[in-house]
C-alpha cells in the first residue's frame, strides 16, 4: 500500500467514525469551546490576583525551581546579570529613530501591548531624547545577527533592543514581552502588578529562515479575524510563515476576478456541509498586510492537480470528463484531478497564479501537488513542470508537497516533506531545498493521545515531547542541514471548525516546533523546555488562548 492509499483509506475510516461524534454535528462541543474562550481571560485575571495579591500562599510558579527567564524559543545566548530590575512606570517611553517606518510600527505594536495592562501612556519618542527609563529600539549594523537576529540588554535604567534589520527588532520585542510578567497581556489595567524585568543580556538569531505553520481554510473556512488571531500566536513565538491552504475538494477560498465561478460554485461548502466562505481579494490583502506587519510571510497554496473538486464544479472543462462533479463535503482524498493534457487547464492555472501573485508580496506560491493517484506518472510530471514555469513567469518561487520531486525541479523550487522520509531527497538532487513537515512530528491536527476529542490519528498521536524531541538535520535520509530551509507545522481542518479548536491543537505543540525551528540544536533540551513552557500558561490565559494541559508539562 502506498502512503497515499494509506491516508485515503484511513481518512475514509476517519470520516465515518468522526461523523458519529457530537462535535461534528456541532452544538455541544462548540458551545463548550465558546464558553471556555469566554472563561479563560477570567481565569487569567484570577491567576493575576493570586500571584500579585498581598495575602495567601505562593503560587506553584513561585515555588518551582527557577528556570527563568522562560523565553520560548530558547535564545542562542542568555546571560542573567545581577542588580536591580528594570521597572515599567508611568514615565516609561519607547525611543526609536522615527525616520524608519518599520521600526516605528514595531514601537507602536509594543506600545499597544503595554498600554492596556499597565494603564501607562507609553509615549514613543525620537532617538536623541533621554533614554533613562526608556525602551530603545534601534537598528545598528551587526552582521552577526543576520536579517532576523537581535540583541537585548536589560538594565535598571533602560532596555535596549538592537538589530541589523527591522524583523530582528520585532523578534527582540517578543522576547522582551515574554520577560515581562504574563499580566502584560491583559486587556484590562492591572494596577497592582510590578512590571519588572530582571537584568539580562541576550544575543539571538534563528537556526532556519522558514519557521512556518499551515492553516487549512478549505475543509473548514476561517474568518479574517480568526486568521489574524493565528498570526498573533505565530508572532509571539517568532514564527515567520503562515501557509494558507486556500483550495481543496471541499472549498475554494479566494476570489479570482477572471474566474468568478471558482468562488461562486466552489466556496459554498465545507466538511460536514456548513456554509463555507471565501476571502475577497481585499480581505486577503488585509490578512497579508496584518501578517507582514508582524514579519509573517503569507504563502498561498492552491492545491492542484489533485484536491480540486471545488474548482471543477465551476470549470468542469479542465477535468478529464465533461460533467461537473457534485459538491463534496466528506473527508476522503485522491479522487479529483485537473487534466494535464488540456490547454484550458494551464489557462486557468495562469489566471489563478497571476492574480494571487499580484496580491502576495512574499516570494512564494505553493502549488500543492500531493495525493494524486489518478494522473499517470508522466502527466503528473508534465503538470508540475508547466505549473513551475507559470509560477516563475509571475515572479514567484514554487513550493509543493514532496510528491513534486517526481518531476524535474528548478533549484529555486522548495519541496515540503510530509509523508515519507525519502521522497524529498529526490528534490535535493535538483538543488531544491526542503521544508520539513513530517506528519508524525509536525501535523498539529493529530491527536495528543487516543482520547483527545479533536483531531485525527492516521499519521500518529503526537504528545508535546514528540513534537519537540527531534533534530531536522538528522531526520530524513539524504537531507542534511544545508538542504533544509526550515520546519512547518500544518493543521488540516477536517475536525477543526473554529480558531478556539485550532488553538487547542496548536498549543502547546506550536511553541515546541517554533523552538525546533529557531533554537540551535545544542541549546535544546526537553526538560528545560517543558519547564520554560509551563511558565507560558498564565500568558495564554490572559490572551484568551485555548490550550491542552499536557501531563508532560509541569504547569
3-class state of residue 550 by DSSP: coil
Q: CB 116 → ligand ACM: shortest distance, Å?
A: 39
- Measured from the CB of residue 371, what is the shortest distance to ligand ACM in angstroms? 5
If DSSP codes are grouped into helix, strand and coil, which group holds residue 49? helix
- With a CB cutoff of 8 Å and minimum separation 6, the contacts of 250 are 218, 219, 269, 270, 271, 276, 309, 310, 328, 329, 330
Given a contact cutoff of 8 angstroms between Cβ atoms, the answer to whether 159 and 153 are in contact is yes
Q: Interface residues for ligand ACM in 394-433 (CB under 6 A)?
A: 401, 418
Shortest distance, position 307 Cβ to ligand ACM, whole Å: 8
How many residues contact ligand ACM, by CB under 6 A?
4
* Between 371 and 515, CB nearer to ligand ACM: 371
Question: Nearer to ligand ACM by C-beta: 292 or 420?
Answer: 420
- Four-residue CA torsion sign, 336, 340, 342, 346: positive
Burial classification of residue 82, based on how many CB atoms lie within 10 Å of its CB (0-12 exposed, 13-18 middle, 19 or more buried): exposed
Find where cell 519537540 sits.
Answer: 468
DSSP string, 261-310: HHHHHHSS--GGG-----B-HHHHHHHHHHHHHTT-EEEEEEEESBS-HH
Nearer to ligand ACM (CB atom), residue 371 or residue 463? 371
The phi, psi pair for 12, rounded to 5°, reads -60, -50
Q: Is 371 a catalytic residue?
A: yes
CB of 217 vs ligand ACM, minimal distance in Å: 15
Q: Please count the other Cβ atoms lying within 10 Å of the Cβ belonging to residue 282.
A: 10
Per rule CB under 6 A, is residue 494 in the interface with ligand ACM? no
When the beta carbons of 340 and 446 are compared against ligand ACM, the nearer one is 446
Nearer to ligand ACM, 185 or 301 (CB): 301
DSSP secondary structure letters along 453-474: SSSB-SS----HHHHHS--HHH
* Of 36 and 458, CB closest to ligand ACM: 458
Residue 544: strand, helix, or coil = coil
Considering the candidates 301, 371, 402, 515, report the single residue annotated as catalytic: 371
Q: Minimum distance between the CB of residue 401 and ligand ACM, rounded to whole angstroms?
A: 4
- In the bound state, the residue with its beta carbon closest to ligand ACM is 370
Distance between CA 356 and CA 470 in Å, rounded? 35
Smallest distance, Å, CB 201 to ligand ACM? 42
Q: Looking at residues 344 to 373 of the shown chain, list those that interact with ligand ACM (rule: CB under 6 A).
A: 370-371
Q: Write out the catalytic residue numbers.
A: 371
Residues at the interface with ligand ACM (CB under 6 A)? 370-371, 401, 418
Amino acid at each position: 500500500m502506498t502512503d497515499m492509499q494509506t491516508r485515503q483509506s484511513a481518512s475514509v475510516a476517519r470520516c465515518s467514525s468522526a461523523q458519529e461524534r457530537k462535535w461534528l454535528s456541532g452544538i455541544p462541543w462548540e458551545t463548550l469551546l465558546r464558553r471556555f474562550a469566554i472563561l479563560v481571560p477570567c481565569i487569567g485575571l484570577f491567576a493575576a490576583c493570586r500571584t500579585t495579591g498581598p495575602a495567601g500562599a505562593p503560587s506553584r510558579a513561585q515555588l518551582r525551581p527557577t528556570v527563568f527567564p522562560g523565553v520560548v524559543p530558547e535564545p542562542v545566548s542568555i546571560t542573567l546579570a545581577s542588580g536591580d530590575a528594570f521597572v515599567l512606570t508611568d514615565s516609561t517611553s519607547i525611543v526609536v529613530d522615527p525616520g524608519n517606518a518599520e521600526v516605528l510600527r514595531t514601537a507602536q505594536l509594543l506600545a499597544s501591548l503595554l498600554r492596556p495592562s499597565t494603564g501607562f501612556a507609553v509615549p514613543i519618542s525620537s532617538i536623541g531624547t533621554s533614554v533613562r527609563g526608556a525602551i530603545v529600539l534601534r537598528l545598528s549594523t551587526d552582521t552577526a545577527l543576520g536579517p532576523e537576529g537581535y540583541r537585548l540588554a536589560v538594565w535598571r535604567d533602560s532596555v535596549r533592543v538592537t538589530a541589523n534589520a527591522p524583523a530582528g527588532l520585532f523578534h527582540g520585542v517578543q522576547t522582551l514581552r515574554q520577560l515581562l510578567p504574563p499580566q502584560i497581556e491583559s486587556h484590562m489595567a492591572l494596577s497592582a502588578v510590578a512590571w519588572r524585568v530582571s537584568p539580562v543580556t541576550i544575543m539571538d538569531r534563528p537556526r532556519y529562515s522558514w519557521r512556518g505553520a499551515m492553516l487549512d481554510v478549505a475543509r473548514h473556512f476561517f474568518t479574517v479575524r480568526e486568521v489574524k488571531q493565528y498570526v498573533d500566536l505565530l508572532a509571539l513565538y517568532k514564527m515567520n510563515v503562515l501557509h494558507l491552504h486556500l483550495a481543496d475538494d471541499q472549498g475554494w477560498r479566494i476570489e479570482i476576478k477572471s474566474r468568478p465561478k471558482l468562488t461562486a460554485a466552489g466556496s459554498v461548502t465545507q466538511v460536514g456541509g456548513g456554509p463555507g466562505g471565501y476571502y475577497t481579494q481585499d480581505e486577503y490583502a488585509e490578512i497579508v498586510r496584518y501578517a507582514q506587519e508582524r514579519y509573517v510571510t503569507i504563502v498561498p497554496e492552491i492545491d492542484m492537480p489533485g484536491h480540486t473538486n471545488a474548482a471543477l464544479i465551476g470549470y468542469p472543462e479542465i477535468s478529464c470528463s465533461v460533467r461537473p462533479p457534485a459538491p463534496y463535503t466528506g473527508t476522503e482524498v485522491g479522487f479529483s484531478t485537473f487534466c494535464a493534457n488540456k490547454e484550458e487547464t494551464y489557462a486557468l492555472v495562469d489566471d489563478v497564479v497571476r492574480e494571487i501573485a499580484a496580491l502576495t508580496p512574499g516570494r512564494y506560491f505553493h502549488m500543492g501537488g500531493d495525493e494524486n493517484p489518478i494522473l499517470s506518472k508522466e502527466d503528473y510530471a508534465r503538470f508540475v513542470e508547466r505549473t513551475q514555469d507559470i509560477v516563475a513567469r509571475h515572479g514567484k518561487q514554487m513550493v509543493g508537497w514532496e510528491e513534486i520531486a517526481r518531476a524535474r525541479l528548478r533549484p529555486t523550487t522548495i519541496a515540503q516533506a510530509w509523508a515519507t522520509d525519502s521522497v524529498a531527497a529526490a528534490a535535493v538532487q535538483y538543488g531544491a531545498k526542503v521544508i520539513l513537515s513530517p506528519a508524525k512530528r509536525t501535523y498539529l491536527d493529530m491527536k495528543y493521545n487516543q482520547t483527545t476529542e479533536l483531531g485525527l490519528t492516521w499519521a500518529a498521536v503526537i504528545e508535546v515531547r514528540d513534537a519537540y524531541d527531534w533534530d531536522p538535520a538528522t531526520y530524513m535520509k539524504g537531507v542534511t542541514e544545508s538542504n533544509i530551509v526550515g520546519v512547518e507545522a500544518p493543521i488540516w481542518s477536517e475536525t477543526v471548525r473554529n480558531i478556539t479548536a485550532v488553538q487547542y491543537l496548536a498549543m502547546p505543540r506550536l511553541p515546541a516546533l517554533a523552538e525546533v525551528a529557531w533554537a540551535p540544536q545544542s541549546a535544546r533540551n526537553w526538560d528545560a523546555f517543558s519547564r520554560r513552557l509551563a511558565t507560558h500558561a498564565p500568558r495564554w490565559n490572559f490572551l484568551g488562548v485555548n490550550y491542552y494541559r499536557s501531563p508532560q508539562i509541569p504547569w
